[in-house]
């Protein structure tokens, strides 16, 4: 099926961050779009505001009738949807063209110059910085992002079709549907072991992804990863390197060494060295579109960020509230390092909602070690997402592994009272589940108190 032959697109799981971006793309190019999701969110409300029909009950009667024509409708689903879903089963039995989100991304981007950002951490921030840099330098691009960019207040950007920016997601081996011209790999830490079984299989999938880069294409890899490619790093001998790094008023200032020359006094405002590395590889990739390096260096300074990626919800002299998507031990470590670098000697309280029973079980010891770095921690119950509960695996089980005495398991409704009782100078709320909705409530309660 070619994009031009599609009249209607129906999404099962339309409210996902990646799925909603695809829905907006098809609506933008003139297709009829509708979909199902199990809960209403700000993303689904925004889709409805764009005349996209969304319903929240698995019921074929709620699917708009024109979408029940298999000759004119493409069905897109997310792997998070169970195979027993009745709408999915109907489309399967009635010979509809059904594709995963990753397959559709492959279709859309195959005729463009495709930038693909891969890695177990940093995909969304890196791809958002890359989209920002290309946009600032006038590159005609389409970008599908896994988060809401604060620079264009969306997870989707369409300013041309010559270039495309996508996240190459390792979950369910989705990135093996892409054939990029330029790719990067930010990290290869063990994750998604419910899919891969072990870290070796995960690493093998990254090698398979590298093999999909088009002939003559380029691969950028963080220095130290077991891959051959153009390297990037901080204060080392990488091909693209940050040197003479310092911090002034919460802003990184550094020299940027590249094969194209050295750029002095480059500025980047997003805290955390992990974010600095994301900005560096985005800069290196953007050069491949022919953008002038000096203009890209200037554009790095104006990048605002991505929602829920070390986002300041409140930032006063006496109190800071940070919102972050961190849901893996390595990401929690990066958040901790960024906090102590930017806010040294402050009283810190961390609130964490584990994501997935399987991930919590697989990395329980690592989660405990990472979280125990914080002087005080509040744990919410595990967010199940696509999983059923596992016997014995819960927040109390994780707390039992931690070495920090200042740890409690709390209910969502008790968060504000617990925070006020501890009176932290820096509060960070982390997780990939519905903690994002709780942060909005906490921010509303606390912003008037500070």
Q: Which domains does the chain have, with CATH numbers?
A: 3-100 (3.40.50.720), 110-300 (3.40.1190.10), 311-446 (3.90.190.20)
383 alpha-carbon distance from chain centroid: 17
Q: Is the pLDDT of residue 173 over 80?
A: no
CA distance 163 to 176: 19
Q: What is the mean pLDDT of residues 59-63?
A: 95
Least confident of 232-241, 282-291, 362-371, 432-441: 432-441
Q: What is the mean pLDDT of residues 61-77?
A: 94
How crowded is residue 102: how many other Cβ atoms within 10 Å of its Cβ?
Answer: 24
306 within 8 A of 147, measured Cβ to Cβ: yes
Q: Does 124 count as an annotated binding residue? A: yes
List of E strands, 37-136:
53-55, 73-77, 97-100, 113-118
The structure tokens listed for 416 are 């504000």
* pLDDT band with cut points at 50, 70 and 90 for residue 449: low
Pairwise CA distance, residues 170 & 209, whole Å: 9
Instruction: Render pLDDT for 368-379 as a digit per residue (tens, 0 to 9).
Output: 999 999 999 999
The residue whose two tokens read 């919460």 is: 250
Average confidence score pLDDT of the chain: 91
125 is in an annotated binding site: yes
Rounded Cα distance between 375 and 104, Å, is 45
192 is in an annotated binding site: no
**What pLDDT does 3 receive?**
72
pLDDT of residue 260: 82
Cα 4 from Cα 81, distance rounded (Å): 27
Say if residue 201's pLDDT is above 80.
no
Whole-number pLDDT of residue 383: 94
pTM for the structure as a whole: 0.84
3-class state of residue 1 by DSSP: coil
Strand partners, 309: none
User: Cα separation of 17 and 20, whole Å?
Assistant: 5
Q: Is the pLDDT of residue 103 over 90?
A: no
Given a contact cutoff of 8 angstroms between Cβ atoms, the answer to whether 277 and 222 are in contact is yes
Average pLDDT over residues 351-363: 94
Does residue 239 carry a pLDDT above 90? yes
Measured CA to CA, the distance from residue 450 to residue 316 in angstroms comes to 7
Report residue 190's pLDDT band, with 50, 70 and 90 as the boundaries: low
End-to-end CA distance of the chain: 56
Helix (H, G, I), strand (E, B) or coil at 144: strand
Q: Is 121 labelled as part of a ligand binding site?
A: yes
């Amino acid at each position: 099926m070619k994009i031009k032959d599609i009249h209607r697109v129906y999404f099962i799981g339309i409210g996902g961050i990646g799925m909603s971006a695809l829905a907006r793309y098809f609506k933008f190019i003139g297709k009829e779009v509708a979909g199902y999701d199990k809960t209403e969110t700000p993303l689904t409300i925004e889709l409805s505001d764009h005349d996209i029909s969304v319903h929240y009950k698995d019921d074929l009667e709620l699917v708009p009738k024109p979408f029940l024509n298999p000759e004119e409708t493409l069905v897109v689903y997310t792997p998070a949807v169970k195979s027993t879903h009745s709408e999915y089963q109907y489309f399967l039995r009635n010979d509809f063209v059904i594709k995963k989100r990753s397959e559709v991304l492959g279709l859309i981007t195959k005729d463009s110059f495709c930038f693909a950002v891969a890695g177990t951490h940093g995909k969304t921030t890196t791809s958002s910085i890359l989209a920002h840099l290309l946009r600032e330098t006038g590159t005609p691009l389409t970008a599908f992002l896994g988060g809401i960019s604060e620079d264009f207040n969306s997870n989707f950007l369409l300013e041309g079709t010559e270039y495309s920016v996508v996240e190459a997601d390792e979950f369910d081996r989705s990135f093996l549907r892409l054939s990029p011209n330029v790719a990067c790999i930010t990290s290869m830490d063990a994750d998604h072991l419910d899919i891969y079984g072990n870290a070796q299989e995960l690493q093998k999938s990254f090698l398979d992804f590298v093999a999909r880069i088009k002939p003559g294409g380029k691969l950028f890899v963080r220095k130290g990863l077991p891959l051959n490619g153009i390297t990037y790093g901080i204060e080392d001998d990488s091909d693209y390197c940050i040197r003479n790094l310092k911090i002034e008023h919460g802003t990184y200032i550094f020299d940027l060494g590249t094969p194209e020359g050295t750029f002095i006094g480059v500025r980047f405002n997003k805290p955390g060295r992990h974010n600095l590395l994301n900005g560096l590889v985005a800069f290196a990739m953007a050069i491949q579109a022919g953008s002038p390096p000096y203009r890209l260096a200037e554009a790095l300074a104006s990048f605002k960020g991505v929602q829920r990626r070390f986002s300041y919800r409140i930032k006063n002299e006496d109190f800071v509230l940070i919102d972050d998507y961190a849901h893996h031990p390595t990401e929690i470590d990066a958040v901790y390092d960024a906090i102590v670098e930017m806010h040294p000697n402050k009283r810190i309280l961390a609130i964490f909602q584990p994501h997935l029973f399987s991930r919590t079980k697989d990395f329980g010891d690592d989660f405990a070690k990472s979280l125990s770095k914080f002087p005080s921690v509040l744990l919410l119950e595990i967010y199940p997402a696509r999983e059923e509960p596992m016997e014995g695996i819960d927040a109390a089980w994780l707390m039992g592994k931690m070495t920090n005495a200042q740890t409690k398991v709390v209910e969502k409704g008790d968060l504000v009272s617990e925070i006020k009782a501890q009176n932290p100078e820096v509060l960070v709320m982390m997780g990939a589940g519905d903690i994002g909705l709780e942060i909005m409530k906490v921010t509303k309660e606390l912003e008037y108190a500070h």
